[in-house]
Amino acid sequence: MSKIKTSCAVLLLLLPILLGGKMAEKIKIFDVATGQVNEVEKIDKTEAEWKKILTPEQYKITRLKATEAAFTGHCPIPKKGERGVYACVCCGTDLFKVETKFESGTGWPSFWEPVSGLNVKETEDNSLGMKRVEVNCARCNAHLGHVFTDGPLPTGKRYCINAAALVFKKIQNPKHDKLETAAFAAGCFWGVEAAFKEAKGVVSVTSGFMGGLTKNPTYEEVCTGKTGHAETVLVEYDPSIVSYEKLLNFFWDIHDPTTLNRQGPDVGSQYRSVIFYYSPEQQKSALLSKEILGKSKKYKKPVVTEIIKAGEFYKAEEFHQDYYGKRGLKPTCHIPLK
């Protein structure tokens, strides 16, 4: 009987495929109200289905990648003391918190960061004869706008978003006000990303570049060693689950911090060991952690890890994101040392 039940269950799972459909892809999305990362199905509708639930303007902007005229769109303004997020008008995915909105003077709603790197997708956009970075909803692929590097601190980014792509969601007592960000360089970011993704409390990890002067560098440019950038991972984490100090300990455990400009066979300044701090508190913790490690005599050689203020983070090409996971490979480096 159990074999029959199992066979029926498998048949039900395969039925959509047998009938010409396809299994819905699942992704992780951060929910502001609960403070949790949930696995949800990506939303894929036909153009006719989108037209039924969107206004003509919303459809034109989110599905056909149009741009509303400057100073014509208006985001709903929450009442004083009201908490909430601006969500995707197509699928309701949380996108930007009210408190990250700022007046940019451009004529479009502007935010300095999304609620999580999981909820938005950034891709290179070479349309209209210019190089830009398009911002899409990660769940339904709705076109939201573009992101630029002329925003305010702490991120230095300006997410320039079409008002018609957003809807305001009121949230009563969100579980966590904010995820926090950390950045580390510890050699090849393929392995570093894979390692940090295994750390409890880490919400998302993105591979990229930081620490140099070249704007929007490519992987090939960084590999020349002439950009000044280090291969870096941007770590989003929940401080109620894992502390920054524990992430520092994890960082020390996954690489050799005594080798200057190299990790194993990878040689070059782009493979140097760096802790990029985002606040005075992170700087203090990093300096103390490095001092404690040096005094522990764990290594015969001195720790050469740099501790410097975080600058602009440049996301690496999609090919490098979740490199091992996409290929079903087991990382061969950056395994926590025992």
pTM given for the model: 0.65
Q: E strands within the chain?
A: 26-31, 36-41, 84-88, 94-97, 101-102, 110-111, 120-125, 132-137, 143-148, 158-161, 166-170, 180-186, 202-210, 230-237, 262-263, 266-267, 273-277, 306-309, 314-315
Decide whether 26-170 matches 180-327 in CATH topology: no
Look at the domain 26-170 and name its fold.
Answer: 2.170.150
Per-residue pLDDT of the chain (338 residues), as tens digits, is 444 544 554 455 455 555 555 567 899 999 988 888 889 999 999 999 999 999 999 999 999 999 999 999 877 777 766 778 999 999 999 999 888 999 999 999 999 999 998 999 999 899 888 889 999 999 999 999 999 989 987 788 999 999 999 999 988 765 555 789 999 999 999 999 999 999 988 988 999 999 999 998 999 999 999 999 999 999 999 888 899 999 999 999 999 999 999 998 999 999 999 999 999 999 999 999 999 999 998 999 999 999 999 999 999 998 999 898 888 888 766 555 44
CATH of 180-327, one of 3.40.50.300, 3.30.1060.10, 1.20.59.20, 3.40.47.10: 3.30.1060.10
User: Is 8 noted as a catalytic residue in this protein?
Assistant: no
232 contacts: CB under 8 Å, gap ≥ 6: 183, 184, 185, 189, 207, 208, 209, 210, 211, 274, 276, 313
Decide: 95 and 120 in contact? Cβ < 8 Å.
yes
User: Is 137 noted as a catalytic residue in this protein?
Assistant: no
122 contacts: CB under 8 Å, gap ≥ 6: 133, 134, 135, 136, 147, 315
Among candidate residues 88, 90, 140, 188, the one labeled active-site is: 188
- Between CA 114 and CA 35 the distance in angstroms is 14
Pairing of strands 36-41, 26-31: antiparallel
Give which of 59, 61, 27, 57 is closest to 46, Cα–Cα. 59
Q: Angle formed by the axes of helices 244-253 and 280-295, to 10°?
A: 40
Write down the domain spans for the chain.
26-170, 180-327
Among candidate residues 88, 160, 223, 333, the one labeled active-site is: 160
